[in-house]
Structure 1
Amino acid sequence: MNSQAYTDISRLRAQFGDRLTIFGHHYMSSEVIRHADFAGDSLELSRKVPGLTSDYIVFCGVSFMAESAAILASSRQKVFIPDTAASCVMSDMAPHVPVQTVLERLRAGGRKIIPLAYVNTSAAVKAICGRFGGSVCTSANASTMLSWALKQGDGVLFLPDRNLAMNTANALGMAEDQRMILDIRGEARELDQASLSRVQLFIWPGLCVIHHRFKTQQIVRARAKSPGALVVVHPECSPEVVAAADASGSTSFIIDYVRKAPTGATIYIGTECNLVERLAGQYKGEKTILALVESACVNMAKITEPKLAKLLFDIDAGRANEVTVPPDVAAPARDALTRMLEVCCR
């Protein structure tokens, strides 16, 4: 804990008053999250942006989240992130140029393939989704958005997370022969249009390195160590891990699952360790909350309390670097994000 940073942030927040809003993703450290006006997952925080009246929005999360906030914010609002180097490995697995090339090749046979991007993607990829009639999704609404996308055309390109795609397809009861994990080497030049006619779901082969660390053997060991224990995991885990767990869902789902679990329960959680540790502290003495295995996101960890304090100083001095998205990218990306918000708010 950095007492000077805490003091500085508290003073500057009071100085800014309602001109400042701080968002904190659930994977932030407790030292950072305690300063957030709103804590949540990507969907919860995205929903908050259009209704904000503050001049400054500080996003404590990774870069694609700050980009999304900048896309949804009004023209008079400014969005900032405490460390611009806080990227996302999964997002980086789907660069926008190969994404567009693969999408165009999938459409070359005359089929209307709709792109559906997980929110863990760049603004440029979201813009492609907007231009081609697609949208975005989060882990909380993936089933809703995939169902929507399947009705918009002849098939869906889901990217970049293959695990979320497979788990969502399983939840919707989609037959295995209707889906395909793409081989994107060579930007899918070898695609045989005739053989793809029955495929409804084309899956980009990316993944989250944090959730890739969870294995079914860990669940077996947890249950052997704590008979009767519950296991809940994030749907970015492999389908095998999701099938072996008692439940899976977004960070908000996991929080609610722990809340509803009976007093005295032992719960193993498969997601980023900051959230697990915070839940363990919250329910200490009432429920036993344990990490399935310790798994930390190095990019989320780049957002620290001292960096947040420095950013607020820089905003106050007028020298902070704003998160911006070029207008030709922001407009179609906003279309994609807005479609998600409209579908999920019906």
Structure 2
Amino acid sequence: MNNHISERITALRQQLGSSLAILGHHYQSDEVVQHVDFQGDSLELARKIPDLDAKYIVFCGVSFMAETAALLATKEQSVLIPDPKAHCCMAGTAPTQRVAKVLQEITDLGRKVIPLAYVNSTVGVKALCGEYGGSVCTSANAAIMLDWAMGQGDCVLFLPDKNLGMNTADLLRIPVQERAVLNVRDKDGLLDSDSLSRKLLLWPGVCAIHFRLKPEDVRLVQEDDPRPLVFVHPECEPGVVALANVSASTSGIIRAVREASPGATIYIGTEDNLVLRLARLNPDKHIYPLGAGYCSAMLKITEARLLSTLENLDEHAAVRVDSAIAPKARKALETMLDVMASRK
């Protein structure tokens, strides 16, 4: 960490006071996290936005998170991301035009399709969810939102993460024969009639970080020591989840670590910035990464870029959402928040 940069950020935060709010995702580095006002996963941070009075909201995360903040912020607020090129590769697996074509193809067959997009998706995809009466979800509330969506139409298109979709379907005990992973690569024939007859249609995207983890990684640590606890994120493939002691959202993993017994040996299958931070914050436990690695998009947000943003709040390009799609995308997000409020 650069002490000069850190001190300058601290001074600017004090100077700006309540006009500034810095939000940071759990996958951010410690050098950035030390400066945030609110730290959390996607759902926690989205819930913060409507209650913020700050003129400037600086979002330390990836671009889809900043877009979500811009949708929920007021017109008087500016949402900024220190590096606008911090794009989630999973979101890139579901281009808006391709998703629109798939939804239209399903609709043309006379089926009422409800799209449910993981928040790791573009604002264009979120707008399609709003247009078709669907919603969005996070890893923390995927089961609640998928259960809701299954009751809204003839079928659900869950996107873009097939692993989260399959693991959530397992939790809800949706029969395997009612699911289909779509082949959306063929531009001439996107879908087949057999797939479209299923209740749950899964987009074939994955998270590049969690996709690295395989069942063999879990078996290796279990062979070395039969007593370790294994906590993984539900973006991991079902074979990994099946071998783990806990499969949970980022916040769920943090809670599971906190509740584990002193002296426990824990291997965690999620982004390494978080895992190493949990190891430092829980010295009474033996915590190790399972091997997912670092998210390259999250690493684009550095302490130096955060400082540059704070020094140029009015010149730094604010996150903008096309006014033509903003209401539909906002509707999808608000539906999630409404469903979650009704299920409390």
TM range (shorter): over 0.9
CA RMSD of aligned residues (A): 1.1
The 10-residue stretch of structure 1 (322-331 or 217-226) with the greater mean CA deviation from structure 2 = 217-226
Match of 1:43 in 2: 43
Cα displacement string for residues 280-318 of structure 1 (whole angstroms, at most 9, x for unaligned residues): 00011x101110115111110000001100100011xx2
Deviation of 1:319 after TM superposition, in Å, equals: 1.0
Task: State how far apart, in whole Å, the 1-side matches of 2:38 and 2:295 are.
Answer: 21
Match of 2:116 in 1: 116
Match of 2:286 in 1: 288
| Partner secondary structure for residue 262 of structure 1 | coil
5 Å-filtered alignment, 1:95-174, equals 95-174=95-174
Normalization by structure 1: what TM-score? 0.97
Match of 2:275 in 1: 276
Cα displacement string for residues 107-140 of structure 1 (whole angstroms, at most 9, x for unaligned residues): 1111101000000001111001001101000000
Normalization by structure 2: what TM-score? 0.98
Deviation of 1:227 after TM superposition, in Å, equals: 2.6
Match of 1:184 in 2: 184
Where structure 1 has 5 or more consecutive residues not aligned to the other structure, the ranges are none
Task: State how far apart, in whole Å, the 1-side matches of 2:160 and 2:137 are.
Answer: 11
| Partner secondary structure for residue 219 of structure 2 | helix
Match of 1:200 in 2: 199
> Which amino acid in structure 2 is aligned with residue 58 of structure 1?
V
Task: State how far apart, in whole Å, the 1-side matches of 2:4 and 2:159 are.
Answer: 42
Task: State how far apart, in whole Å, the 2-side matches of 1:192 and 1:3 are.
Answer: 58
| Partner secondary structure for residue 157 of structure 1 | strand
Deviation of 1:340 after TM superposition, in Å, equals: 0.3
Deviation of 1:34 after TM superposition, in Å, equals: 1.0
Task: State how far apart, in whole Å, the 2-side matches of 1:110 and 1:300 are.
Answer: 41
Match of 2:84 in 1: 84
Match of 2:219 in 1: 220
| One of 317, 332, 338 as aligned partner of 2:334 | 338
Asked whether the equivalents of residues 182 and 188 of structure 1 are also in contact (C-alpha less than 8 Å), the reply is no
Task: State how far apart, in whole Å, the 2-side matches of 1:244 and 1:342 are.
Answer: 34
| Distance change (3 Å), C-alpha of 1:40 and 1:129 | same
Cα displacement string for residues 252-290 of structure 1 (whole angstroms, at most 9, x for unaligned residues): 000000000011100000000000000000011x10111
> Which amino acid in structure 1 is aligned with residue 86 of structure 2?
A
Task: State how far apart, in whole Å, the 1-side matches of 2:34 and 2:129 are.
Answer: 35
| Distance change (3 Å), C-alpha of 1:157 and 1:180 | same
| Distance change (3 Å), C-alpha of 1:77 and 1:170 | same
Match of 2:29 in 1: 29
The 10-residue stretch of structure 1 (291-300 or 195-204) with the greater mean CA deviation from structure 2 = 195-204
Deviation of 1:189 after TM superposition, in Å, equals: 2.5
Task: State how far apart, in whole Å, the 1-side matches of 2:297 and 2:188 are.
Answer: 30
Percent of aligned pairs with the same amino acid? 51
| Distance change (3 Å), C-alpha of 1:190 and 1:208 | closer
Task: State how far apart, in whole Å, the 2-side matches of 1:39 and 1:149 are.
Answer: 29
Asked whether the equivalents of residues 114 and 132 of structure 1 are also in contact (C-alpha less than 8 Å), the reply is yes
Deviation of 1:12 after TM superposition, in Å, equals: 0.5
| One of 319, 322, 343 as aligned partner of 1:326 | 322
The 10-residue stretch of structure 1 (305-314 or 197-206) with the greater mean CA deviation from structure 2 = 197-206
The 10-residue stretch of structure 1 (215-224 or 158-167) with the greater mean CA deviation from structure 2 = 215-224
> Which amino acid in structure 1 is aligned with residue 334 of structure 2?
T
